[in-house]
Amino acid sequence: MNRQRDELGPAIPASEITPRAVFEQRRTIIRAAAAGVFGAALAPWFARQAFAQTAAGGKLASRPNLQFVLPDKLTSYKDVTGYNNFYEFGTGKTDPARNAHTLLTRPWTVSVDGLVKRPKVYDVDELLKLAPLEERIYRLRCVEGWSMVIPWIGVPLAELIRRAEPTGNAKYVEFTTLADPKQMPGLSVKVLDWPYVEGLRLDEAMHPLTLLTFGLYGEVLPKQNGAPLRIVVPWKYGFKSAKSIVRIRFTEREPETSWHRAAPDEYGFYSNVNPAVDHPRWSQATERRIGDGGNALFPPRRKTLPFNGYAEQVAPLYAGMDLRKFF
Ligand code: MTE
């Protein structure tokens, strides 16, 4: 994985930045709602908000899911969309924001196949209507040691999996992402064996936290964040959250993933965030929250939480497994 010095985000036109104040205000209200201050009276307000969001181009309406509100401060829109890993558009942190404009996100299809009773090629606009879109605030922890807190928009991946009806033999789900050299300048560099492939165990893919993601910060996914659709798996290192997916295949055998193929000793199939298991070349005990300040030499660091803070929800998936062996 790239280890170059962190850079600041690129210049993003002011017109593209969701007014932070609006978001902050909304979040305060969500918190109050989570604390039971407003109760049902809030529903019409959220409905209006959702409608208002569809009015302008690029906006994506959703309902906040109050189960996934965090006490953490949100990472700024500028950092979320300006400091990225998307090697198909370059290995520098600011490369994706600069280069991803060449990605064509319509028409876009996703093939759902393999060990399923109902294989199907879906148009992305059909997937957008699978279930009501939810906004969920998740932590994302990159294997490189930085993290962000992002308001994603999506639906549980389980909604799609249930429609596909996996057969009894299906044990894993493989995600293949777009690899088109005409659209993706980074493919000329063989940092990885393209296309980018990731995988989950079927029960991980079905877990209610696993989000099929179409947007963030009230907007459709910016291209550098994996438009038009990606997954977000918040208890695993960020590289499991594959961007710009074109195929979802159900398999009996564990999929061979790109990062595992590139460096099997460094990137295991599971890749659960685990402060007790160091990467062979660096510690995973702490992380730097992007936007926390400090400088490149002495960034403030916070303790990394087991399963990135989602242990209560996901630890049972790994009961009885030696997570040092299955890293
Ligand atoms: N998906 C593809 N197709 N290509 C990539 O290079 N990078 C991964 C993941 N998904 C990557 C990808 C890594 S290492 C991380 S940390 C996250 O995307 C970053 O997501 P973000 O840029 O939206 O924060």
Q: What is the CATH number for 125?
A: 3.90.420.10
Whether 244 is covered by a domain: the verdict is yes
Q: Which atom of ligand 1 is nearest to the CA of 245?
A: 3
Q: Which atom of ligand 1 is nearest to the CA of 237?
A: 16
Whether 185 is covered by a domain: the verdict is yes
- Residue 153: CB partners within 8 Å, gap ≥ 6? 60, 62, 133, 134, 135, 136, 213, 214, 215, 216, 218
Whether 15 is covered by a domain: the verdict is no
Pocket test for ligand 1, best of 6, 86, 189 (most atoms within 8 A of CB): 86
Nearest CA to 186 out of 257, 94, 99 is that of 99
Whole-number Cα distances in Å, 180 to 15, 199, 247, 302: 30, 20, 14, 38
Whether 23 is covered by a domain: the verdict is no
* pLDDT exceeds cutoff 80 at 47: no
**Using 50, 70 and 90 to split pLDDT, how confident is the model at 276?**
very high
Residue 181 Cα to ligand 1 midpoint, Å, equals 18
pTM of the shown model: 0.85
Pocket of ligand 1 (CB under 6 A): 84-88, 140, 142, 177, 196, 225-226, 238-239, 241-244
Whether 95 is covered by a domain: the verdict is yes
pLDDT at 100: 98
Count of other CB atoms within 10 angstroms of residue 181: 11
Whether 242 is covered by a domain: the verdict is yes
Lowest mean pLDDT among 41-45, 135-139, 304-308: 41-45
Whether 17 is covered by a domain: the verdict is no
Domain of residue 140: give its range.
62-318
Cis peptide upstream of residue 10 (ω within 30 degrees of 0): no
Buried-exposed string 11-25: b where 16+ CB fall within 10 A, e elsewhere: eeeeeeebeeeebee
Residue 130 Cα to ligand 1 midpoint, Å, equals 24
* pLDDT exceeds cutoff 80 at 116: yes
Q: What is the pLDDT averaged over residues 213-235? A: 98
Any idea which residue has 């940092």 for tokens?
191
Name the residue with the closest Cα to ligand 1, atom 23: 225
Total domains in the chain come to: 1
pLDDT at 23: 56
**Using 50, 70 and 90 to split pLDDT, how confident is the model at 54?**
very low
Positive/negative CA dihedral, 307, 252, 263, 161: negative
Which H or E run includes 124?
Answer: helix 124-127
Q: Which atom of ligand 1 is nearest to the CA of 224?
A: 22
Residue 226 Cα to ligand 1 midpoint, Å, equals 8
> Partners of 147 in the beta sheet?
141, 289
Whether 309 is covered by a domain: the verdict is yes
**Using 50, 70 and 90 to split pLDDT, how confident is the model at 131?**
very high
Residue 47 Cα to ligand 1 midpoint, Å, equals 32
Give pLDDT tens digits for 158-193.
999 999 999 999 999 999 999 999 999 999 999 999
